[in-house]
Chains A and B, each alone.
Chain A
């Protein structure tokens, strides 16, 4: 009877023993998995804090994914900046994704500066809404004291449609010379369907159709106008990351610029 009781107790002890070991293992493996994530989280917060000091915007999101193959190596670093002003233009979203970035931790922690020493590749996406473009144009018009100029943009993929009503005095002389035959009164009023292109941060607007003061502008004049007006603008480089915009895509709600 005693022996039986002893065996029973031993079996219970053994079960408890195994349970403790199993639970310990489970806990430690979970903790190991959590460690890089929390380190990444800490780094995300550090970068966000530094970027918020240098970039005027509504919000910044930093997301780091660690490499599963090489512990401690950053697989991707994504930075999303909401409502930032890029040059003169208010953008809705700027997202930069760096693959295998090497971050200058010295600069980050001591000088509170965010710098990427190298990366195996990066992907940039900038979204600009029609509202942002319209506000930008209105601000430019105010800057040049052309309050009567009315220009609005609407997206109809693959075209950006532009409606304008501009006083002749606000039109550059070169453009006015080309449009001389179509200007009768004091205003240039009309429409243009534009296709956008980009090369090394320079933005080009190619017009497939333009109407000025009730006249459809012939192709030859359009070509001359394009060469006079282009590039229409330049995309300023987003300070902490170097990039070159080489693609523009007109989408339903946004103008999408990418590298």
Chain B
């Protein structure tokens, strides 16, 4: 005898929506009732979550999203170290091209940096000293704001005391 499978949706205002599966005349599966209640709920939840995730991945993949991820904001202490390192690297790149260090940090624009960072907390300009030939130093004006007595980077080596 071939099994007959009927999916019957019944909806009424008193009860919740039901999905029943009959094999022959016997009710085999009734969603939201009995032992299937929890399992079917979980399965449904997984399906919805996966669909939502796939939709999210698709939605995030448009050409308008062809841009780098946004940088998370860092603590002022981490930020100032990162800015000093970036400046130092740009100075070294400037040297690699011109065989000398620039007169001022502004000369790093726009070839090596988009904008010259300012001190994260004090919003002041970094103090830049160079003999142009083989030495430079970038000093933080108020290192105490970042928990240091001294904070500078000299020829690529950072000093934090």
Contact = CB atoms under 8 A, between A and B. Distances in A.
Contacts of B93: 125, 127, 249, 251, 254, 256
Contacts of B67: 156, 161, 193
Contact of B57 (A63, A93, A216): A216
Interface string B43-82: 0000000000000111011100111110000000000000
Interface string B88-105: 011011011101000000
B5 to A, nearest CB: 31
B12 interface: no
B134 A63 contact: no
B133 A126 contact: no
B111 A216 contact: no
A256 B58 contact: no
A201 interface: no
B62 to A, nearest CB: 7
B28 to A, nearest CB: 34
Interface residues of B, number: 28
Given A78-B99, A125-B95, A209-B68, A215 B57 contact: yes
A60 to B, nearest CB: 12
Contacts of B60: 211, 216
Contacts of B65: 191, 211, 216
A158 B69 CA distance: 10
Nearest to A217: B57
A249 B112 CA distance: 10
Looking at B62, B92, B114, the one whose CB has the most chain A CB atoms below 10 A away is B92
A127 B68 contact: no
A156 B58 contact: no
Interface in A46-95: 61, 63, 65, 76, 78, 80, 92-95
A251 B99 contact: no
Contacts of A29: none
B34 interface: no
B51 to A, nearest CB: 14
Given A76-B134, A256-B89, A125 B96 contact: yes
Interface of A: 61, 63, 65, 76, 78, 80, 92-95, 97, 123, 125-127, 156-157, 159, 161, 163, 190-191, 193, 208-209, 211-218, 247, 249, 251-254, 256, 258
8 contacts: A125-B96, A163-B66, A190-B61, A209-B69, A211-B61, A214-B61, A252-B110, A258-B89
